[in-house]
Chain A
Amino acid sequence: MLSPEERREIEAELPLYPNKQAVCIDAMQIVQKHRGWVPDEAIQDVASLLDMAPDELDGIATFYNRIFRRPVGRHVLLLCDSVSCWVMGYERVRAHLMERLGVGLGQTTADNRFTFLPNVCLGACDRAPVMMVNEDLHADLTTEKIDTLLEDYK
């Protein structure tokens, strides 16, 4: 069941578009904002609200990088793996993060604190290497800087 707040936020989007389907990507992002990810039952509920088939909505959900169809940890750590970051030391940063977190890309730490994901260009190439933790961009990464900033996310 969509929560009243989720439903209210999704319905607030409806007047912005000429038809209901156009709201579906926003709707899934709203669910994800509240729950961290988009479970099967939410796909059913959003599809029903927007007069779509659940399969169709799931096909859209799985197309977009930012819709998570599996649970994530309390903090989502997205490491930019595109070319400027690669030139500036992506592999070193990735190795350090894997060591510190004890998990590989695509995995969640055992304490459910971080989910570590690769991410295509974050658009901060002049400050490479970069990563995002939740909604925060962290640039000019060094191993020392990573150690410090991970402590901010409990």
Chain B
Amino acid sequence: MEKPLTQNIRTDGTAIDLAAYERAGGYQGLRKALRMSPEEVLETVKRSGLRGRGGAGFPTGVKWSLVPRGKDAPHPKYVVANADEMEPGAFKDRFLLEGDPHQMIEGMIIAAYAVEADAAYIFLRWAYREAAVRLSKAIADAYRHRYLGKNILETGYNLEMILHVSAGRYICGEETALLNALEGKRANPRAKPPYPQTVGLWGKPTVVNNVETFCNVPHILKNGPDWFQSLSRTKDAGTKLYGASGKVKRPGLWELPMGTTAREILEEHAGGMRDGLRFRAAIPGGASTEFITEPHLDIPMDFDEIKKAGSRLGTATLIVLDDRTCPVGMLWNIEQFFAQESCGWCTPCWSGLSWVEQILGAMERGEGEEGDLEILRQQTKFMAPGNTFCALAPGAMEPLASGLTYFQEDFERHIREKRCPWKS
């Protein structure tokens, strides 16, 4: 099978340089795009069916089409790569950035051309030190070879690209909070509408896409939308970086057709559970998604199908729970993260998440009380989508709500036995 996203990634851990990237067909997608009109590029991406790989799955071409274009459009316009990747359990973008930085840069230039942007920012999390070094070099090389800067490849198109290394907060991954962070402010989310496509960075039209999304774009331009559709097993087009962490035999990351099942990922690629352990459940797409269990493992992992199992594709990097790990402890860890990383902008989030985290902590310490489960269930409703300013708290409630369903007996044992049954 074809693996366009990872075809250039070397097994020795080094990054492919510009010359090797070009020899492998790199920047051909950009050259082709620059011979087309921005409108034609946008239509090509639309027809490909590419959906955003950051987790929400919004159609990429549609997102780009909301940016005002033409001679009356406001300028400067911006394209931003969301390379924050702080969702616990997610590690796919690091792999792409470290192994093949030019791929994302090329995708960003094509996106910028399609929306007629003037500048592109890469918003990179600080912990990705190696990615920062490699991206800096790749950007400098791209400037030297006229893929960036003034009059790109003699076409008259100009684009500046800037690497911004952030100072760390999970909320920076929320696209409007990211814009505030880039502007040198606290990364509180902004009210939508207006959406960033019309009022974004410094009030100007802005497109924000995930790293993996941009990485797909050069291949779509080079090979066409029909080819992109053909890579998938389902109606969601393309390949997908799937991953697995937890007590499986071979934790890792694999580029597979969109729609690969969780069972194939876990059993064939991750090698199944470690000896002596059994699969109990998994969070399919980072810490903010609902658990799936054994009956869901044969559902294709794409945006729509996984929804039918009551979860979300998210980042498609599975976190596996085995039968000897306490689900209450796991959820406590997850909710501690969300409570700490709440930006504090709205009361249900900063207050509610702290309450949830404290209740789960008390249960793990053997201090759980009758009525705790009811409070937790209420909180999942109070912090449901629409009740908070952004998606952080609703995301935090997804694993908890599903955990309360699948692990009710485990919660009740904690309260009844006044201890964590997994601790001796």
Residues of A within 8 A of B (CB): 16-19, 21-26, 28-29, 50, 59-60, 63-67, 81-84, 86-88, 90, 119-128, 132, 135, 137
Q: Which of B86, B91, B167, B247 contacts A124 (CB 8 A)?
A: B91
Cross-chain contact of B167 among A21, A29, A119 (Cβ < 8 A):
A29
Q: Which of B316-336 contact A (CB under 8 A)?
A: 317, 319-322, 325, 329-330, 333-334, 336
- CB–CB B182/A120 < 8 A: no
Binds A, one of B23-31, B126-134, B216-224, B354-362: B126-134
B340 at the interface (CB under 8 A from A): yes
- Which residues of B pack against A, CB within 8 Å? 76, 85-91, 93-94, 125-130, 162, 164-170, 181-187, 202, 243-247, 251-253, 283, 287, 317, 319-322, 325, 329-330, 333-334, 336-337, 340-341, 343
Note all chain A residues with C-beta closer than 8 A to B87. 121
Would B186 and A60 count as touching, CB distance under 8 A? Answer: yes
Across the A-B interface, the 6 shortest Cβ-Cβ residue pairs: A82-B88, A64-B167, A125-B245, A65-B168, A66-B168, A84-B245
Q: CA–CA, A123 to B315, complex, Å?
A: 12
Closest CB in chain B relative to A107 CB, distance in Å: 18
* Chain B nearest CB, measured from A74 CB (Å): 18
How far is the CB of B6 from the nearest CB of chain A, in Å?
Answer: 14
Contact present for A122 and B169 (CB under 8 Å): no
Q: How far is the CA of A17 from the CA of B372 in the complex (A)?
A: 49
Chain A residues with CB under 8 A of B329: 86
Report if A84-B319 is in contact (Cβ < 8 Å); known contacts: A21-B185, A65-B169. yes
- Shortest Cβ gap from B252 to chain A (Å): 5
A132 to B, closest residue via Cβ = B127
Contact of A25 among B162, B167, B243, B253 (CB under 8 A): B167
B184 near A24 with CB under 8 A, answer yes
Interchain Cβ contacts under 8 Å between A and B, 28 examples = A17-B184, A19-B183, A29-B126, A29-B165, A50-B184, A59-B186, A63-B343, A64-B167, A65-B169, A66-B166, A66-B167, A81-B333, A81-B336, A82-B89, A83-B319, A86-B333, A87-B321, A90-B333, A120-B340, A121-B88, A121-B89, A123-B125, A123-B127, A125-B88, A125-B90, A128-B245, A128-B251, A137-B127
Complex Cα–Cα for A26 and B123 (A): 12
- Kindly state the separation between the CA atoms of A60 and B247 in the bound complex, as whole angstroms: 39
- Assuming the contacts A28-B167, A65-B167, asked whether A123 and B128 have C-beta atoms less than 8 A apart, the reply is yes
B90–A123 contact, CB under 8 A?
yes
A94 CB to closest chain B CB (Å) equals 12
The interface residues of chain B lying within 8 Å CB-to-CB of A22 are: 182-184
Given contacts A81-B333, A87-B325, contact A125 B183 (CB under 8 A): no
Given contacts A25-B167, A87-B330, 11 further A-B contacts (CB under 8 A): A17-B162, A18-B76, A23-B184, A24-B184, A64-B166, A64-B168, A83-B89, A83-B337, A123-B93, A123-B128, A127-B251
Q: Contact check: which of B88, B125, B129, B247 meets A83 at CB < 8 Å?
A: B88
CA distance A19 to B337 in the complex (A): 33
A121 touching B86, Cβ below 8 Å: yes
A82 and B162 contact, CB distance less than 8 A: no
| Smallest Cβ-Cβ distance to B341: which chain A residue | A120
Report whether A120 and B337 are in contact in the complex, using a CB–CB cutoff of 8 Å. Answer: yes
